[in-house]
Structures are given as structure tokens and as C-alpha cells.
Structure 1
Amino acid sequence: MIVFQVLFYIFIVVIFVQLFFYAYAFSKVNQKNHGNTPTVKPFISVIVCAKNEANNLETFLPSILNQEYPNFEVVLINDSSTDTTLKVMERFKAKHSNIKIVNVKNIEAFWGNKKYALTLGIKAATHNHLLFTDADCKPVSNQWIKEMSNCFSTEHQIVLGYGAYAKVKNSFLNKLIRFETLMTAVQYFSYAKLGQPYMGVGRNLAYTKDLFFKARGFMDHMHIKSGDDDLFVNQIATAENTAICLSKNSFTESVSKKSYSEWIIQKRRHISTAKHYKAKHKAMLSLFYVSQFLFFALGITLISTLFNWEIVVGLIGLRYLVLFINLTLAAKKLEEKDLIPFFPVLEIFLILTQFSIFIKNLISKPNRWK
């Protein structure tokens, strides 16, 4: 009986931690965002790094080139591709004068390192304001550059955008991937609004060239194969220099992984990168994930033993009510409304997946990189 009483009190603490995140911290993404409306639009260099992405460039590059923005160039980085990526780039360049190609060849010191390729592309960029996306991404509108660039100001030299995944009908895996993407975005947008920006996604991210070189580029984590987006933001972002862009016209969209095993490989890489975040960021992320796990573990234990089950059920109901209110608002803002009815099931599957990835990464390091 004493053991269950202790577990019950721990459960109450866990509920309060969960309510703190869902009712307070994560609610920040639902607040109105006051974006800048500059009278002079900055010149923009859109940077796309591609490695064996010939087909994706054919499909998605036109959506970048057709942006309604007066002053922009597109820097295409061929990262030592072995397919026809370079030929596709050259074909587009022949038709568009605002394309610049950077052809990167592997060297021994930076063999297969995307950060090295990106550094060369950034150096080649004509303009100070840089906007990044991936070769398998497309802007959801022709106002993408305009909306993201509107968030730049004298103070704001980093802009965090939303990189969504295309919806696939009747696919639970697609919903799970998009739910994980939604949860990640809710966290990094909310923490940025709280003055603690800790990451961004390379599918939709902007910062200035001046800031990049002031931070010595990727040198502090060049030895880590991943993290050209989140580790760099974690290193340089502050409450003062970071803005977020939540305009629906600013989103990008990618094709999600088609198999669970491919997605797991991708997430293992992302999670292994997070261990290099600043200690305070690791602490706040860990607290949330641990409280999620304990919520289910303790809740199931207490209900199955009928220990104070009426109070336990009431606390569970309160937690889900707050979760649904704030995540529903966030899902509507980020155009993920179809996920709302599936929140409880998707949350359980995501927690189990994250736990399995954590165990796998403890046993062996993820060593498969693109």
C-alpha cells in the first residue's frame, strides 16, 4: 500500500509537469505572431544542397524558381553526386539567370560531409540573407521567400520556419511521422517564443551570412555528420536574434519516408544529434519526454490496481483536455488538422518509438548517413 501511495504522489507531480508543458510552454505557439513588414525587401540567396537528388530537383526546383519575390538567387550545391544531379542543375541554369551552381568534390578531410558542402555554398552566395531548404522540399506557395524574409530585421538574424510532410491518405505511418513533426515544431516554436530557441529544421530555415561567419560556421561541430540545422541554431540562437515564421504561406512540404525502418534510421540520427545540445536544452527536452513516459507507466499501474482510481482517472482526463485544446490550436495553425482525432493513439506510438530508438542508440551508434 505504501508503495502505491508513493507512486500516486509521483503521478500527481508528473501530471503537474505535463500540465506545465501543455498548458503553458506549448501554448506559446498559439499566440499571435507579430511579424515584421520591412519597407525594403532584402536580397535573398536560397540555398539547396543536393546529393543524388536529380529526380527531386526536376520535381521541386520549379516551385522555388517561380517564387514571387523581386530579388533572389538560387544557389544549387551538388554535393559529390553520382547520378545526374549536376546535369539537371546545369539544365535549369541555362534557363534561369538567377541560378548559381557550386559543384563540390569530396576531399579526404571532409569526405561525405554535408556541412563542408554547405559552407562552400554559403561562401558562394551573393547575398547576406540566406534561406535554406532541401532538394526534396517544395514551398507550399509562391510567397515562401516573401513570408520568411519578412521576419528578418536588424535584431532578428535567424528565422525558424515550418517544414511539413505531405499527407498520404490511409497511411498510419504518414500520420505518425507528421505527428512527430508537429510535436517537434510546437516545441521549438514555443521555446523560441519563451526566449530559449534551441533548434530549427533545414527544410525551412533562414539566417544571415554575417552571423554564420561570426560563429565560425559549422567548425564547432564539423566532426558530427548531422546537425547542419539544429546544432547550428542551438549554438548561435538567442532570444534577441531569433524570430519564428508561422504564416501558412511560409511552410515547405516534403515527402515522408515510406517504411517504418527508413523513418527509424532517420530519427536515430536526429536523436543522436540532440545529445550535443546545450545542457539546459537537453534538460527541458528530457523532462518532457520522461514525464510523458511516466504518465502512461504510472497511470496504467495505478488504474490496474484500483488505487485512488477516481482521482487518477480525473487527472488523466484533465491532462488530455489540456493537451487537446492546445495541440488542436497548434494543428490548425500548422495545417495538420486531420491528425486531431488520432492524438491519443499517435502519442502512444510515438512514445514507444522514441523509447525503442533510445535503447537502440545506447546499444549501437547510428552509422547510416545519406
Structure 2
Amino acid sequence: MLPLIPTLAALATFLAVLMGAFLMLVPSRMRLANIALALFLLATAVDISGWFMGDWWAANPSIDQFRVAIAFAQMPLFTGYIWLNCFHREAIHPRDALHFLPAVATLAAVAADVSLPYLRALFELQYAAYMALAIYALWRVRSAMTEHYTGSSANWNWLAVIVACSLVAHTLFVVRTVFAAGLHAELLQPLQTTATCLVLAITVLFALQAMLNPGLFRTQDRLLASVSNPADNHSQGEQDQRLLAFMEEHRPYLDPDLSLDRLARRSGVTAKEISVLINQRHGVHFFDFINRYRIEHAKRLLVETDQTVTEILFASGFNAKSSFNSAFRKHASTTPSMFRKENGTK
């Protein structure tokens, strides 16, 4: 029977390499982010290979020194993936190379046989700093989404999940490392097994997401894109104000045959822009957006006139009583008759 920990580590390494190759090759508008994640997975594969190739690494110390240096490249790559998703960029900058100075310095020190007594502490400090940057990026984007939009972002949720997984996995490794000397073998072995299983589970999660939700790695989330580009966000805000002003002034919702294309022609805002505005800024679909205005108009007529409900539904832009009643319940949480009874006719 194969030892459990080396077997699980080998499976995790294989999946990480496979996923890294996939991200390198898949056509995507998120090319830079995918490359950062692919390199992170490959660096992780090299790191955890020590769990089942320890003897080989020990027999080749000149190569093993690269593994030590690669460990310092993991967090810049991981946080780079988070930032490139949250704040889209088309190219890397020369200053980005500064993030890999610790890895280069470590490699140079190990190659020169310089003693590094605080190497583990430096690694933990680096992890904490880059994890704080990743969490800050998610918080900043989430705050902007909450302020300007309704709805949720699948990409943001995915980024939050992998950050949480990283925190849990790293905490286990820290506990295992710090308390290894004082723990009995009966406790140390389950802890090591749990940590290895978690690494495998995370790599499986990446693979499943690639298969079940490939859009995460192929296109940028529109909500994240809007938040990450202030210029586009400002332009979209102006378009939204223009659309709302048109709705109030010209009342196109009273047209029973109003469509997205017809509203676009009348308002001067393209159909695609209207669709994005309604979805991202108001969190509804086109007809829900229009029906909100129609129901508000109907409510005014119910209170201010003595027209019948049937007359009001046609005057508000509806074609059928059933659709009017359904929309009224959805947006007013009552029926037209009950609303009139509760508010009275002036």
C-alpha cells in the first residue's frame, strides 16, 4: 500500500502542473492574470514535490536551492492574480519585477552558501504582506460594487474563495511547523495528512472551476471591469443619469409596445449600453426596469383619479390585466384594488 501523504502530494502536484499548462494555453482576455496563476500553480507544484521527492531533492542540493527561491515567488504570483482580476491591465510594468527581488536574493544567498537563519520568518512576513494586499484588493472592489451597483460578481466570489482557502491551508502549515517539535507523532501525522488533503482539495477546486465555469479564466467579469476602470465607471454614470432623465421627462414606459431597441432609438443610448446599465446599475432585467415606472404611474392614477383598474392598466403601458396584476404584486407587494383602498382616491 502506498504511503498516504506522498500519494496525495503527488496527485496535487500533477493537478497543479496540469492546471498550470491549461491556463498557459487557453485563449483568454485575462491573459496576464492566467499566466500569474499558472506560474503560481507551477511554483506550488515544485514546492510540494518535496513531500514525495524529498530524497531526490536532498541528493541534488544544487537544484534544491532553486526550490527554496521559488517559494518566495509564490505569493507575488498569487496576489498578482488577484490584482490583475480586480484591476485589469493589458501589460506588465518594469517595476513589477521588484516583487521578485526576495526570490532572487534568496537564490543568490543559497548559491553563495550564505547562512539565512531567519528565512522562515521572512517567508511568513512576505506571506502576511501579500495576503493583506490581496484582501485589500477584494475589499476595495467590493466597496465600489456595493456603492455603485447591485447584484454580485461570480469572479469576485471565486477570488474570495481562493483567498480563504489559502489562509486556511497556510494556517495549518504554520501550526504544523511551529508545534512540530512538541507534538506527539499521533497528532503530527493527522495534521500533516489534513494539510496535504487540503492542498489536493484546492487543486481539485481549480480543475473543477476550469471545467464547470470556464468563463472565470477566459473573460473578465463585467462588474469587476466597470469597477476597476474609473474612466469607464464615470462614463457609465453619466449614461445612467441621461437614461433616467429621459425616462422621467418623456415617459417612454407608457408605450405598450416599448422594446429595448425602441428605447435605444428614442433615448440616444445604444441597446447594449442600456442593457448593461439596467443590469449593473439597477440589478434588474429590461422589463422589470420598465415595469417599475409603469407601476409607479399606475399607483398615482389609483390614488389621484377614479378611473377603473382596467382603464389604469392600459393607461400605464400594460396590454393585459394578468401581467399588470403580476407586476403590481411584485413591485408594490399588494393588489391594485387593495392599494386604492388603503390609500384612498383624492
- The TM-score range, normalised by the shorter chain, is under 0.3
Write 1 or 2 for the structure with the bigger share of strand.
Answer: 1
Q: In terms of Rg, which structure is larger?
A: 2
- The answer to which structure, 1 or 2, has the higher relative contact order (CA under 8 A, 6+ apart) is 1
TM-score, normalized by length of structure 2? 0.24
